[in-house]
């Protein structure tokens, strides 16, 4: 662990804004929801929060599962299995205020899962806090394509807002149909 910290600081001093570890440093444990999972990193189970994406809630309130929240969680379950080695690319700031690791997660095929969520219309670009914003421009382009195609969360008028997902808009839209 001490060597990893030294490498991280050397990379920061050289101007590198993020660090990617090999897959043997993270092992997928389980899905928490569409944008959060548990992984074993250096022998410790850690909550990992995907950077720059937000998926609808499935756990906040037992009475309310937001539309497309279960689909986002299922996509993660279908992409990663317990025990899978995964690659994580950490943000410049390693943890959020809830002590979760902040990262971009990569599939076995090398695809970034954060992008997959956006491509499928199961997430919005959110929580953009520099310096943890390395891929924000690319993510916004992907999000715009999903919105244009009315995929997932973008299929419900007024559901995606600047502040999250508006369940009332989802209810109104379902009553209109």
Which residues are within 8 A (CB) of 67 and not within 5 positions of it... i.e. 6 or more apart? 56, 153, 156, 159, 165, 167, 170
Q: Are 103 and 22 in contact (CB under 8 A)?
A: no
Structure tokens at 172: 């109104």
Q: Which residue has the tokens 């995606």?
A: 160
Cite the active site residues: 49, 57, 100
Rounded Cα distance between 51 and 33, Å, is 14
């Amino acid at each position: 662990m001490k060597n990893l910290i030294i490498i991280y600081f050397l990379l920061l001093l050289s101007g590198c804004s993020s660090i990617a570890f090999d897959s043997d440093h993270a092992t997928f444990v389980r899905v928490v929801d569409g944008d959060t999972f548990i992984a074993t990193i250096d022998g410790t189970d850690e909550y990992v929060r995907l950077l720059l994406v937000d998926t609808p809630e499935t756990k906040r309130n037992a009475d309310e599962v937001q539309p497309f929240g279960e689909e986002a969680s299922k996509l993660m379950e279908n992409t990663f299995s317990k025990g899978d080695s995964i690659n994580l690319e950490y943000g410049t700031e390693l943890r959020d205020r809830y002590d979760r690791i902040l990262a971009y997660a990569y599939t076995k095929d090398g695809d970034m899962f954060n992008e997959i969520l956006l491509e499928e219309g199961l997430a919005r670009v959110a929580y953009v806090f520099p310096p943890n914003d390395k891929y924000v421009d690319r993510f916004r382009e992907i999000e715009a394509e999903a919105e244009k195609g009315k995929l997932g969360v973008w299929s419900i008028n007024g559901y995606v807002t600047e502040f999250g997902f508006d369940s009332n808009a989802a209810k109104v839209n379902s009553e209109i149909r």
